[in-house]
Chains A and B, each alone.
Chain A
Amino acid sequence: MASINLTNIRKQYGSLTIIDDINIEIEDREFVVLVGPSGCGKSTLLRMIAGLESISGGTIAIDGKVVNDVGPQHRDLAMVFQTYALYPHMTTAQNIGFPLKLRGASKDEIDRAIAGVANTLHLDALLDRQPRALSGGQRQRVAMGRAMVREPRAFLFDEPLSNLDAKLRHHMRIELRQLHTSLGATSIYVTHDQIEAMTMADRIVVMNRGKVEQVGTPLELFDKPANVFVAGFLGSPTINLGNATLYAADGSARLEFDAGSGPIDLANVAPSAHRDVVAGIRPQHLEVVSPEGAKLTGMVDLVEHTGCETNVILSVGSEKWTVQSRNRQHLTQGEHVGLVFDPINLHLFAAETKERI
C-alpha cells in the first residue's frame, strides 16, 4: 500500500490548460474521491496518476518516489475503468488471472488467486463466462476482481458505477466501501456524483475547471463549503443562494436579502461594515410559514412529493429556491408563503470573490 503525492501538477494541450497547479497528498490506506462537474479535469488527473496521460508540469510521487517517467506497467497501480474494459475474448477467470499471468505466476498460484477473488466478489459461478454473457453489475465485479487479484499499491477508479442502474449503484457503493475497509488499500475514486463522493470518501477533493476548489472530509465540505461552487455542488437538492447585504446595526450583524422585505438578525455573526454577500441556506434548513411578518417570502411554483420528503420549489425574487420538509405540505401553485431559518445554518460568501466569509 502506498501514499501518493501530487505536487504542482499541470496538464496542457497546446495553450489550453486542463489541470492547473494541483497539490494533493493522499495518505496510505485513504479513500479519496475526486469530484466535479464533467470537464473539470478529474479523469485526466486520474489518468496522469495511472501513467496513461503525460504530465506537463509538477511531480507525482508514489511512496515518496517520483514516477513522472515511469510507464503505467511499472507503477503497480490497478485501475477500474468506467467502461470496465474487460477483455472480450477471455473468460471471467482469464480476465481476473491476466495480471498474474503477465507476471509469470505459476498456474497453481493463478488458480488459487482467482478462486480467492471470485469468492470475495461472488463470482464463483461465472468463471467460465465471457464478458458478453455477463450483466452490467457482474462485469463491474469482474473488473474489480482483475484489479484486486495482484494486491496493487493503490486502486484507481474512473467513474466505475456510472453505467449501472440506480439500485445496483447503491448496492455496489456499499460493497466497494466495505471492500475498502477490509482491504485497507489506498484508493482514488473519480465521480461526478456527489452522493457517491459524500458516502464513500474519507476525504473529498472538489475540482472545477482544472483547479482544486476544496479538500476535506465529506462533512467538513458540507458544513463549511469554502466557496459558492462547493456549496452548490454538494448537497441534494442544491443549496439556495441569494444576493444580500450584510451590515451592522445596534451592535449586531444584520442581513437583508435583495428579494426580502426586512433585516434578519444574525446573532452568530460578528458585526461588520456594510458589504454585499451571497447568502446560502440548504433546503433542509428552511421552513415554510405564513407570509405575514416574514422577512423573506416566496411564491410556490411546484410541490414534489417523494414519499418521505416534500420538496417545495418557490420563486424568491428572481431565484428558484427549494424547501425540503419532512412534513407533508399542502400548498397550491401561486400561493404566497414566508420562509424562516435558523441563522446558525446560514452560509455567507463575499459577493465579489464568492469565497466564504
Chain B
Amino acid sequence: MSKAKKSLVCWALLSPFLVVVLFPYATMLSTSLKQKDEIFTFHRTWLPRDFYLGNFAELIFEKGFGRALVNSLAISVGATVLSLAVAIPAAYALTRMRVPAKGALTNYLLITQMISPIVLIVGLFRMFAYFGLVNSLLSVIIAHSAFFMAFAVWMLQSYFATIPKDLEEAAWMDGASRFSAFVRVFLPLCLPGVVVTAIFTFVNSWNEYAMSLTLLRQVSQQTAPVQIAFLTGTLYQIEWHLIMAATLLASVPVAIVFASIQRYLIGGMALGGVK
C-alpha cells in the first residue's frame, strides 16, 4: 500500500471519532455567534446569519463572566503551582531517597484517589469554615492542590524514575551539592514530566465544579464552570446563546495552555546522556 493510500485509510477510520470530538465545539462556535431568535428556528443552519459578537459582550459586561474567568485562572494557576511545589520534592524523595514506609505512603496516595470529592465536601466545608476561609479563593486553591497532588506525585515519580541516577552522581562528583545537582541537572531533564503533570493539574482544577460551588458562596467569586451551570438553571428560559459563548470562552485558556507547552511534551530529552 502506498503512503498516501495508507494515510487515507487511517483518516477514514479515524473520522467517526473526529466527528464525535469536534461536534460539540462546532455547536458551541455556531450557537455562540447566533442571535437569540436564530437558535430555535425550524430550518437550522450551521452558519449564523451574521457573525454576531454581542453574546460575548453581554456575557462579559452584564453577566460578569470575565470575573469568573479571572477567578478560575487564579485558582488553577495557584493550585498547579502549590501542588507541584509539594509534589516535586515528594516524588524526588520517593524515587531517590530511603523513605520509611515508602510503600504505605504511595498506597495511601492511591487510596485518596478512590474517594469521590463529593463525599468529602461537607467535611471540607466545615474545616474551611473553621479556619475562616470560606469565600476565599485560597480555600479552593488549597483543596484543589491537595486533591490533585496524589496524582501529581504518582505521575512525577514514574517520570523521575526514568532519569539515570548516574547523572546526579556525576554532578555530586563534580562538586554540586544535593540541592544544586537537583536544580541544575535533575530538574531540566524532568521538564517534560513536570509540564505534563502541570497540564493535568491545571485542567483538572479548571474544570472542577463541586468544591468551587461549595466553598465560594459569593457571585463575584464564582469560577467559570460554576457560572456556566448557573446560566442554565436560574431563569425561566435557558439562554443557549450565552451558555455556548461561555463554554467556548472557558475552553480557550485550556487550549492555549496545551498549545504553548506542547513542545515540552516531546520526550527523549534524556537520550544521549548515558549510553
Contacts and interface: CB of A to CB of B under 8 A. Distances in A.
Chains A and B bind each other: yes
B86 interface: no
A139 B275 contact: yes
A78 B271 CA distance: 23
Contacts of B173: 50, 52, 72-73, 77-79
A85 B176 contact: no
A315 to B, nearest CB: 41
Given A71-B172, A73-B175, A87 B167 contact: yes
A128 to B, nearest CB: 15
A146 B174 contact: yes
A83 B175 contact: no
B175 A88 contact: no
B175 to A, nearest CB: 5
Contacts of B174: 78, 98-99, 102, 146, 150
Contacts of A78: 173-174
Interface string B234-275: 000000000000000000000000000000000001111111
A88 B189 contact: yes
Interface stretch (A130-138, A261-269, A273-281, A342-350): A130-138
Contact of B169 (A85, A86, A102, A132): A85
Given A72-B169, A132-B272, A163-B275, A85 B177 contact: no
B269 A88 contact: yes
Contacts of B89: none
Interface residues of B, number: 23
Given A73-B172, A84-B275, A102 B269 contact: no
Contacts, number: 82
Nearest to B173: A79
A103 interface: yes
A114 B256 CA distance: 42
A102 B273 CA distance: 19
Contacts of A81: 166, 169-170, 274
Candidate in B167, B173, B175, B176 with the most chain A CB atoms within 10 angstroms: B173
Contact of A85 (B180, B188, B271, B274): B274
Interface string A138-182: 010000001000100000000000010000000000000000000
A48 to B, nearest CB: 13
A330 interface: no
A77 B167 CA distance: 16
Candidate in A72, A77, A78 with the most chain B CB atoms within 10 angstroms: A72
A81 B185 CA distance: 16
B24 interface: no
A89 interface: yes
Contacts of B270: 88
A86 B274 contact: yes
A98 B164 CA distance: 18
Given A89-B188, A99-B174, A52 B275 contact: no
A136 B272 CA distance: 9
Contacts of B275: 83-84, 136, 139, 163
Contacts of B273: 84-88, 131-132
25 contacts: A72-B172, A73-B172, A73-B173, A73-B175, A73-B177, A78-B173, A81-B169, A83-B274, A84-B275, A85-B170, A85-B274, A86-B170, A86-B273, A87-B170, A87-B171, A87-B185, A88-B167, A88-B189, A89-B188, A99-B174, A99-B175, A131-B273, A150-B174, A150-B175, A163-B275
Given A73-B177, A87-B273, A102-B176, 14 more contacts: A52-B173, A72-B169, A79-B169, A81-B169, A81-B170, A83-B166, A84-B273, A84-B274, A84-B275, A87-B170, A88-B271, A98-B174, A132-B273, A146-B170
